[in-house]
A and B are shown apart, each in its own frame.
Chain A
């Protein structure tokens, strides 16, 4: 892998990370204020649709962006109504918003544009296009022959749409708001101990509504980025579970802005690798080491604990070991060679497995073996005055 490939991979990671990052920060504001939000996905999707639709109709992408933010904030307010005003179940409200957006975008797109549930392709001037910095090369052939520093500047630093730079700026901005302003202090407090905030004479309801509205704005930008910068138009289910991955990144980031940037870049790298390398080959011996190694680690962990741990983790270890053995024997019988030689054969890793890696990683993170993540204490509980 040459340097330019690495730069390209980094470039793609950043592009992939931006919508995750914006959604992740949206979740951060909401959850820091004590409101769980699994409706990030739906808000992004609705914003992606409306910003593409309005950009197409008006020919101005900024108007489209505003429309996207508008619908996303509207859904946020519905979520606020359900979870703050009427003290309903925040998870169920989020689920409903996700389905609402998934269904409505397609139905309305068909009703307005009659192209099978998508918006028409956006012309170039109704999109967010890449900004070329002064002196940056734009043609791939020029870039490949340039010096490493120039490659880095032209490919990695320059050439993104303005939303990418704005998205990256939201990280220090969020940090500053949360940790250096009075509003941020109160917002964090309302997620930990709303009764204390209430006693101090500050409105819990108003703070929480502000938090979900900020979440709506960020999700709106994320959605608009997908349909007007990454792609030229809205297609059905185009958010492709990014809202859920953002939630996982949020937990991995322990509800902190800078960590969120790191987590989202890591997930962005996963997607970039998945997009670029379709055919990943691995030697059988590495598969064996990986699978049997984790099986052994889990068994050792379980044996020192209770019966239920032995049962579950032991069973999982057995499954992993079985997969390893099936791969080994399968290679040996398929190639007609002896067992030892089969260890050095390469097999193709199923593309479905590569695509599932982000989700698998999320589960491992959630299992809490990679550092303990402690959510805001009052998260998910409606606040009732004078209980």
Chain B
């Protein structure tokens, strides 16, 4: 017998976790002398108050869908890919090289080339951690953390040397050619005579992100490979007994994960208003992917919802920091609380709810 109905597991538990995170966040606001209710109102306005702000929220949400999917695919194989941050940076490197090297005549071609290169570079950056996990049993968490640090070193090296145009002061690549810029949603809206989304950078990558969600859903639940990934995640010994190669599936799951994280680069390099690769381009999105995947219960639908929420939080937090004295790091605190309550303290939230349902369920059973 199920301990509780599916809707409670999918909706109620995350909502309660979120409420707990919100309560602690409110205490933090009180500790620094801010009114939590006012702060919430400011953040809500900053996230969806104008069509510009909404555009930024969607732009960040696009990032988090990619990184959330990346973490989720690895989670399905019981692997914790904490290296999304580095894979995003490498994805950006791939996209920048693909777009700067070839003068693509149209953005569709640039999108295909840049997206492929981004995914490829992101996947390549996880090859060594994946190999070490699969073949040598080195813990993927520590190795991917190390690869994050190395990725930021490599990026700074590339952006202050080989990729930097002569005479440019900023540590960044040159601007990408105009022809390769992805159309923003504002460009599309203008075709219909509207000025929706204003100057915000939200662009057609958001549709690619949604396509990626469908692809991951199909992969995990409707293909043999997805079955093998989930089987490995549930029980390595059972999967081996069923003839599934743990080494191969570990490698493949992590490569897909790295590729998805790398794909984020099309949004944050090719999609922004002045497309280029800048230092620290990932901006923590790789880590937010962890929170998004945990909150979204590793399911694409949940990930989209969680990504929208975190997009709003990120954009709202930035606006809050702009108009008040609160530092923008408040977003990291809230992110940490969400990871804590939906990830590590899941049992604390779940078991009282389960007990409630058991008692309630028993009463109805007696009445019948």
Across the interface, do B28 and A104 meet the contact criterion of CB distance under 8 Å? yes
Bitwise, A332-355 to B at CB < 8 A (1) or not (0) is 000000000000000000101101
Asked if B314 is at the interface of the complex by the 8 Å CB criterion, the answer is: no
Contact B138 A350 (CB under 8 A): no
How far is B34's CA from A117's CA once the two chains are assembled, in angstroms? 16
Tell me if B80 and A91 are in contact (CB < 8 A).
yes
Is A285 in contact with chain B by the CB < 8 A criterion?
Answer: no
Say which one of B90-98, B208-216, B323-331 lies at the interface with A. Answer: B323-331
Complex partner residue of A110 from B136, B137, B325, B337, CB under 8 angstroms: B325
Docked pose: A97 CA to B341 CA in angstroms:
11
We find that the number of chain B residues with CB closer than 8 angstroms to chain A is 57
Cβ < 8 Å to A, chain B residues 97-114 = none
Does residue A131 face the partner (Cβ distance < 8 Å to B)? no
Interface of A is mostly: helix
Complex CA gap A117/B328 in Å reads 10
Alpha-carbon separation in the docked complex, A251 to B251 (Å) = 23
Which B residues are in CB contact (< 8 Å) with A100?
333, 336-337, 340
Give residues of chain A (315-367) contacting chain B, Cβ–Cβ below 8 Å: 315-316, 350, 352-353, 355-356, 359-360, 362-363, 366-367
**Contact size range, A:** 35 or more
Among B128, B335, B344, the most chain A Cβ lie within 10 Å of the Cβ of B344
Which residues of chain A from 89 to 124 have a CB within 8 Å of any chain B CB? 89-93, 95-100, 102-104, 106-108, 110-112, 114, 117
- Does A88 touch B at the CB level, under 8 Å? yes
> What A residues does B309 contact at CB under 8 A?
none
Q: Which of B129, B138, B329, B339 has the most CB of A within 10 A?
A: B329
Shortest CB–CB separation between residue B341 and chain A, in angstroms?
A: 9
Stretch at the interface among A58-66, A172-180, A216-224, A241-249: A241-249
Name the residue on B nearest A312 (C-beta): B131
Interface mask (B107-141 → A, CB under 8 Å = 1, otherwise 0): 00000000000000000000111011011111101
Is A277 an interface residue when CB atoms closer than 8 A count as contact? no
Q: Report the bound CA distance from A76 to B150 in whole Å.
A: 29
CA gap between A197 and B345 in the complex, in Å: 25
Answer whether residue B191 sits at the interface, using C-beta atoms and an 8 A cutoff.
Answer: no
A354 to chain B, nearest CB (A): 9
How far, in angstroms, from A92 to B156 measured CA to CA in the complex? 29
Instruction: Check if B128 sits within 8 Å of A316, measured CB to CB.
Output: yes
B331, closest chain A residue (CB): A103
Measured CB to CB, the residues of A under 8 A from B are 38, 78, 81-83, 86-93, 95-100, 102-104, 106-108, 110-112, 114, 117, 241, 244, 247-248, 251, 308-309, 312-313, 315-316, 350, 352-353, 355-356, 359-360, 362-363, 366-368
